[in-house]
Amino acid sequence: MDSSSVFANIVRAPEDAILGVTVAYNKDSSPDKLNLGVGAYRTEEGKPLVLKVVRRAEQMLVNDNSRVKEYLPIVGLADFNKLSAKLIFGADSPAIQENRVTTVQCLSGTGSLRVGAEFLARHYHQLTIYIPNPTWGNHTKIFGLAGLSVKAYRYYDPATRGLDFQGLLEDLGAAPSGSIVLLHACAHNPTGVDPTIEQWEQIRQLMRSKGLLPFFDSAYQGFASGNLDADAGSVRMFVADGGECLAAQSYAKNMGLYGERVGALSIVCKTADVASRVESQVKLVIRPMYSNPPIHGASIVATILKDRDMYNEWTVELKAMADRIISMRQQLFDSLSARGTPGDWSHIIKQIGMFTFTGLNTKQVAFMTKEYHIYMTSDGRISMAGLSSRTVPHLTEAIHAAVTRVG
Amino acid sequence: MASTMLSLASTTPSASLSTQEILKGKVRLGSGRVGTLLNKEKGNPFIKAKSFGRISMTAAVNVSRFEGVAMAPPDPILGVSEAFRADTDVKKLNLGVGAYRTEELQPYVLDVVKKAENLMLERGENKEYLAIEGLAAFNKATAELLFGADNPVIKQQRVATVQGLSGTGSLRLAAAFIERYFPGAQVLISSPTWGNHKNIFNDARVPWSEYRYYDPKTVGLDFEGMISDIKAAPEGSFVLLHGCAHNPTGIDPTPEQWEKISDVIQEKNHIPFFDVAYQGFASGSLDADASSVRLFAARGMELFIAQSYSKNLGLYAERIGAINVVCSSADAAARVKSQLKRIARPMYSNPPVHGARIVANVVGDPALFNEWKAEMEMMAGRIKNVRQKLFDSLSAKDKSGKDWSFILKQIGMFSFTGLNKTQSENMTYKWHVYLTKDGRISLAGLSLAKCEYLADAIIDSYHNVS
């Protein structure tokens, strides 16, 4: 055996920061361990959840003997694409009615962002994208590898644990005209801090006046407030002014289809002709990446969205998930207040969505992991979806100890 | 133009809003629906809003930023099916895209696949994210299928296996890995090869060049040309090889030729890169179809192998495959795997679970596995029968004495007929037979019943058209 390997110089990559939390959690043998790392919904019993309506849709698909597994078109399942566009933009959206939207099925949110970014890197004139500070850990790598230059705009204010609106406006105001701007449609990850409607309107005006191109990441529609239309409000506000934008949608959380990798990239254009040319070029990005997207998850989504009863069933189950998270927020806040933990913890109930930016520092986080077996990302982000009434007291104790004993 | 036009009170399109003006609330948005939406309640700010009507802001950009985007040409392979669908002639025959069809020319979902899906549903498995590298049970099964469970490379844990999006996705992961860790290295691809190979390496920014492969004079392998071109390439090049059932020609090297190919690759310290899209589907035997890969692995070489389950398990639309990298040590395999993951994460985070579970269930259950082998033999058998019938029809009808035996020698779904572009067009326009312009026909799309018609078309195109 030749001992000189062509791979001799390849070093071992570190574990992905976010997914690495679960890896560490799995290795822990403590019965008290709590995984508040990755953002996947858990029931009150701490179990993963497959929605009943998803099971029903799946059963229908598997039982349907007329179904085949032929390649989807490069842009994916047509029904799924139409229904996804309607879901995010609204069924009565003029942009859809005027055929100005191209929607292509992609691999969940990540895939939609990557395909959109690759398209922009090839066809757009301003190859800089501004992302909020902080943002989801994978954003920088997605855009960077696609060929975009990544810059940050101020977003989170640690002092208020809220939005640094002034900083946001200054930074976007200073961005070169035409720059791309990543916006979290709702339930900002990792902070849970969203702009108000007034703030969204001001952001919109500023961006339009500078010709900044919005690229929405919509991973929590319906999951944040419990209301699908409300959670799409920011996106619809931009589309309503007739301007262009991109939107990446994910069904990982709101339909619990995490592992099926279902999502969609929509590009809202000025005209139908532009939209059709844009779509043809997006196909050239997809074909050498994976040829065409996976059918299973998209079929489940289409089945549910096109059936009135199933759609309603979905909204009920979706609201139940959102409500449970909102209730966890309240319980944690009440528990910390009752415990008398020093500090203002109201951000827990002001923030929205799956995550809370606790404001705990890396030393405190490490302490909580070591002493209390609580797993979270080192930036102090906790997934509320991983909490239950039963585990709130344990988390409260841990936070209390961290805040009072660790600097 | 909508009748509701809101103009910004204090701005014109050319004047940008100053931050100060915005913060001081100097921007007046006028009357209408927008005003009622600006309530100060937290929680569900958009719930109380009525749906947004058409609001045209004079500050909106009027020309598309994508105005300069040109219409891309249609995909040459997939475009054939689109043209076929549009054809209304009853005699039309689609020998374009490479998806298996039954004798009745219908798509085929394998029985074992249906059984596996029912099992999965009964078990009520969850839909949590897979690890970045995919389903562990699938990765184990796929490597064992490829090398044989007893193979030293498996026992010594020298294979880095990462689930990928079928063949294309697995090739793309490998291409991105090559670009990052073997900068400047080029990939040698056969002339001809599957149309998407070039696109994959182009998008991954990996340079490529071609080695001679198809000899139009013999409608066979240009073996001398192939060896010569591989020898001439810079040391340490990657050589893309089709494990079996070469696409588009159907022409595979013999076992002796594989040995010589392996010799020259070792001589030049090249790295073999196999595309295995038809294991089990070509000859009907999983082991036989993997023999080329196993030959190289047995020599102790490091190599890349992309796998696809699109054809052999009929899982086309589920996008299930894998990239395997055989390394000289378990440590190298672990390092390589970790870096492949780093490429997958910003592309799609983690792969889809459904197809992976189907494969793992079929391979993991002895009864289902045997059933699968039988179905695969059936599919490969049908294609062999169709080849035989086509050959018989051509030999009987063609009085010129032309040797059509290449149809029997070629293997797999595709056959390179030797027809040129004009002749191929004649096939389509006169005979309504759809094939790709390079003269490639998909035998999977041919039924015994249509062999005679096809023979007529081929003979006419070959002899009467130049």
Catalytic residue among B222, B229, B252, B275: B275
Residue B28's pLDDT band, with cuts at 50, 70 and 90, is very low
Chain B partners of A278 at a C-beta cutoff of 8 Å? 66, 69
Query: What confidence score (pLDDT) does residue B35 get?
Result: 34
**Residue A126, token pair as written in the block:** 């301003």
B126 contacts A197? CB cut-off 8 A: no
Is 60 exceeded by the pLDDT of residue B17?
Answer: no
What's the pLDDT tens digit per position in A309-322? 999 999 999 999 99
Q: What is the pTM of this model?
A: 0.91
Query: What confidence score (pLDDT) does residue B13 get?
Result: 36
List all residues 6 or more positions away from B150 whose beta carbon is below 8 Å from its beta carbon. none
Q: From A234, which residue of chain B is nearest by alpha-carbon distance?
A: B46
Distance (Å, whole) CA B247 – CA B262: 20
Of B317, B436, B415, residue with least CA distance to B77:
B436
Query: What confidence score (pLDDT) does residue B32 get?
Result: 34
pLDDT, mean of residues A76-83 = 98
What's the pLDDT tens digit per position in B300-332? 999 999 999 999 999 999 999 999 999 999 999
Query: What confidence score (pLDDT) does residue A337 get?
Result: 97
ipTM for this model: 0.95
Is 50 exceeded by the pLDDT of residue A72?
Answer: yes
Residue B74's pLDDT band, with cuts at 50, 70 and 90, is confident
Query: What confidence score (pLDDT) does residue B342 get?
Result: 96
B203 contacts A1? CB cut-off 8 A: no
pLDDT, mean of residues B267-278 = 98
What's the pLDDT tens digit per position in A25-52? 999 999 999 999 978 999 999 899 999 9
Is 80 exceeded by the pLDDT of residue B236?
Answer: yes
Flag whether residue B339 sits within 8 Å of chain A, measured between CB atoms. Answer: yes
Is 80 exceeded by the pLDDT of residue B346?
Answer: yes
Is 80 exceeded by the pLDDT of residue B5?
Answer: no
pLDDT, mean of residues A252-278 = 97
A169 contacts B128? CB cut-off 8 A: no
Flag whether residue B408 sits within 8 Å of chain A, measured between CB atoms. Answer: no
Query: pLDDT: is B36 or B243 the higher one?
Result: B243
Is 60 exceeded by the pLDDT of residue B54?
Answer: no
Residue B466's pLDDT band, with cuts at 50, 70 and 90, is confident
pLDDT, mean of residues B60-78 = 83
**Do A254 and A318 contact (CB within 8 A), yes or no?**
yes
Is 50 exceeded by the pLDDT of residue B359?
Answer: yes
CA distance A96 to chain B (A): 12
pLDDT, mean of residues A163-192 = 97
Q: Tell the residue number behind the tokens 């696809």, with chain if given.
A: B308
Is 50 exceeded by the pLDDT of residue B38?
Answer: no
Per the prediction, chain A carries an average pLDDT of: 95
What's the pLDDT tens digit per position in A350-361? 999 999 999 999
Does the annotation mark B208 as catalytic? no
Query: What confidence score (pLDDT) does residue A3 get?
Result: 55
Does the annotation mark B311 as catalytic? yes
Flag whether residue B61 sits within 8 Å of chain A, measured between CB atoms. Answer: yes
What's the pLDDT tens digit per position in B85-96? 899 999 999 999
Distance (Å, whole) CA B141 – CA B368: 14
**Which of B56, B129, B413 is the best residue to mutate to test the A interface, defined by the most A CB atoms within 10 Å of its own CB?**
B129
Q: Which of A6, A114, A205 sits opposite B347 (nearest CB)?
A: A114
The bridge status of strand B414-416 relative to strand B440-442 is antiparallel
Query: What confidence score (pLDDT) does residue B303 get?
Result: 97
Distance (Å, whole) CA B234 – CA B463: 42
Which DSSP category does B97 fall into?
S
Residue B139's pLDDT band, with cuts at 50, 70 and 90, is very high
Query: What confidence score (pLDDT) does residue A18 get?
Result: 77
Distance (Å, whole) CA A59 – CA A310: 13
Query: pLDDT: is A357 or A16 the higher one?
Result: A357
pLDDT, mean of residues A329-334 = 98
Query: What confidence score (pLDDT) does residue B211 get?
Result: 98
* Percent of chain B scoring above 90 in pLDDT: 81
What's the pLDDT tens digit per position in A333-354? 999 999 999 999 999 999 999 9
